[in-house]
Amino acid sequence: MARCRVAILGNGPAMTAPVPVAAKAVTEHTRLRRVLTHPLAHLVYAMIVVGLLQAFIVKLYYVPSGSMEPTLMPGDRIIVNRIALSWDTPSTGDIVVFDAGDRWSETDVELSIWQHLRYAFGAMTGIGPAAPNTLVKRVIATEGQTLACCDAEGRMLVDGNPLDEPYVDVDFPWEPGLLDCSTSPGSLRCFESFTVPDGAFVALGDNRTASSDSLSNCRLTGQVDASCLRVGELDRIIGFQSTLAQ
């Protein structure tokens, strides 16, 4: 058996006695076990597990505004399914959470260093927001599809087909012959036909009159072009809204 030696001090000259290396290994193992079972270590483990879950499987989000009423109310917490993006692509009617670009920001405010660190932490760990403009909206049309409004009943048209939207509770006023796409002034629902750009999607809030979304800046003119259209990017979708958290 391998041995090490320790000094034994007494009245006479120092002497050494062999101590088994195995005993030293047991001591080191005990110390390591104490570190790994410390309550702070358990907290670190929990944070790692939560981070992995939110980064790859599901993520919890807080709904800050009323733009998706009555489907989602302010203060609701929603569970976002992230793994569904592995085999599915967003389509008309889906509710998604996505990181919007700078054009979606209502104000031009420079972020502080702490805000940058917060978003960097969210991007690396999956805990919390990863960007300042993280939004939840409903997908209306995706890349290559044409979108216009309205038909005779005031409905949007996706690839020429009317879109029934039972989830919309409050929309812009529409009265055939009095306030529609042929009158002056026209209904704010109306906009000209356009094609959704590649890699993009059009996202609207269910509460149309109180939603800052893809078309809100185009409502006054009814003409949709690059100067007013704000699209979401398909590769910046975080996940599908799965359910409400209790």
- Find all residues with CB under 8 Å of 38, minimum gap 6, and list them: none
Identify the pLDDT of residue 229.
94
pLDDT digits 0-9 by tens, 210-225: 999 999 999 988 889 8
Choosing from 67, 187, 214, 216, the catalytic residue is 67
- Write out pLDDT tens, residues 146-176: 999 999 999 999 999 999 999 999 999 999 9
Q: How many CB atoms lie within 10 A of CB 105?
A: 12
Q: What is the pLDDT of residue 39?
A: 78
User: Cα(172)–Cα(174) distance, rounded to whole angstroms?
Assistant: 7
pTM: 0.73
Q: State the Cα–Cα distance between residues 89 and 141, nearest whole angstrom.
A: 12
CA dihedral 104, 63, 220, 191 (to 10 degrees): 90
* Number of neighbouring beta carbons within 10 Å of residue 9: 8
> Which residues fall within 8 angstroms of residue 201, CB to CB, at 6 or more apart?
90, 139, 140, 141, 142, 143, 231, 232, 233, 234, 237
Catalytic residue among 24, 59, 112, 137: 137
The reported pLDDT for the residue numbered 35 is 67
The torsion defined by the Cα of 172, 198, 201 and 62, in degrees rounded to 10, comes to -140
Distance, in Å, from the CA atom of 236 to the CA atom of 243, rounded to the nearest integer, reads 20
Which among 48, 114, 80, 70 is positioned nearest to 244, based on CA atoms? 80
- Round to whole Å and give the CA distance between 188 and 170: 13
The alpha carbons of the chain give a radius of gyration, in whole angstroms, of 29
**Is 24 annotated in the active site?**
no
Given this model, what pLDDT does residue 7 score? 47
Question: HSE (CB half, 13 Å, CA atoms) of 184?
Answer: 0
Tokens 């087909």 belong to 161
> For residue 184, which amino acid is it?
S
Using a 10 angstrom Cβ sphere, with 0-12 exposed, 13-18 middle and 19 or more buried, the burial of residue 125 is: middle
Q: Which residues of the chain have pLDDT under 50?
A: 1-9, 107, 246
